[in-house]
Amino acid sequence: MKIGGVAAWALVGACVVVGGAIADDYGDDSFQMPRDVVSAATAFVTYMRGAAAVDGGFANGEAVHRGLQAVSSYETGQLEEGMIAYGAIAALQDDNFVEGVDRAAGRGEARAALAERLVEDPFEATRIDGAAGAARRVEAALATQAEPLVSAGSHVKIAAYSVQHQAWSKVFVPDAQGRLAEVKSLSASRSEPTEADNEAMMARVAARGAEAADADAPAGYSAIEARALALAAEAVLGHARASDRERLSPLLTETSSAQCLRMAKLNLYQCMAVAGPQYEDIFCMGQHAMYDTAQCVSAAARGGTEIMASAAYSVRPGQGSYQPLAAHHSLRIDPN
């Protein structure tokens, strides 16, 4: 069955619709996904764009403070969930994959059986017809978010050196412990996007849906890509409603990417704990909050197996060094 595009977006209740569901099974043209999962995707995109907007043109300590607030404002679990959910929403724009899931599942109890196998083994989704094209969409979607933050982090890290000719940058942070405590607090807070935010995010994904992805077949599938494809398949099967949220939890986390994001945060905390002048906080910001986080996202999409661990480094040679710690398819919120 050819799955037609759905332009409208509706968010009501506890689960969002991702469009083009198999109408003869469910009576409408939409897929569903739990609200908090879609909100995590919105939080992921919002953070990545906001952090990438921080540049190295700091004029004073207050600008450094604001930059730290922006780049540390993500909770690692939500960012990881959002990365996977964002990939799943991108995968749902691939008609070949959507149709492949429908063919693989059949009807009746076979659909529920496939839904259970996908949770037990997300790589089951990579064996579905159309998975290669959908995976390219996942990788492209995540790379589009990661690459600007990699670049911005590199520029901010360079600014930690270039800014040192300005006297203010050599002044010690007045309340370094308070600043660190604030960063930890922001890092523990989950974002709560509005329905309008979610609608805008999904509309942007749908608008990108027709763009051509890299035509090369993937050499393999990363664990994050497999989970994104599996989550997308669950939505096609009608098994990603709000009532399925707990059952879907294994698809929303992966050991290596979770560890990578936690390490980026821990390295940020330890870097700030030994920092003194403002320019050292700039280095911590660029290296750990921005560059390291972006590399985690990039590695998750491209199948990097090594957990990022930045080398011990200090922008104050001989002092304060530290060791790093080891759619055209619409999405609807399910009201039940």
For the chain, what are the domain ranges? 11-333
Percent of the chain clearing pLDDT 90 (strictly above): 74
Tell me the β-bridge partners of 32.
17, 332
Closest CA to 283 of 298, 297, 294, 272: 272
Helix, strand, or coil here: 332?
A: strand
Section 63-91 average pLDDT: 97
Burial class (CB in 10 A: 0-12, 13-18, 19+), 243: middle
Task: State the Cα–Cα distance between residues 206 and 216, nearest whole angstrom.
Answer: 22
Question: What's the predicted TM-score (pTM) here?
Answer: 0.86
Q: Encode pLDDT of 82-132 as tens digits.
A: 999 999 999 999 999 999 999 999 888 889 999 999 999 999 999 999 999
Closest CA to 233 of 218, 248, 243, 221: 248
- Kindly report the backbone phi and psi dihedral angles of residue 330, in degrees, each rounded to the nearest multiple of 5, phi listed first: -90, 160
CA atoms lying within 13 Å on the CB side of residue 97: 30
d(CA 175, CA 192) in angstroms, rounded, equals 29
Tell me how far apart the alpha carbons of residues 142 and 303 are, in angstroms, rounded to a whole number.
12
109 Cβ contact partners less than 8 Å away, ≥ 6 residues apart: none
Task: Name which of 201, 170, 167, 180 is nearest 331 in CA terms.
Answer: 201
> Among candidates 35, 46, 140, which has minimal Cα distance to 94?
140
- Whether the pLDDT of residue 304 is over 60: the answer is no
pLDDT bin (cut points 50, 70, 90) of residue 236 is: very high
Distance separating the N- and C-terminal Cα atoms of the chain: 28
Q: Please say whether the beta carbons of 198 and 12 come within 8 A.
A: no
- pLDDT at 25 (0 to 100): 43
Q: What residue spans of 173-244 are helical by DSSP H?
A: 176-187, 195-208, 223-237
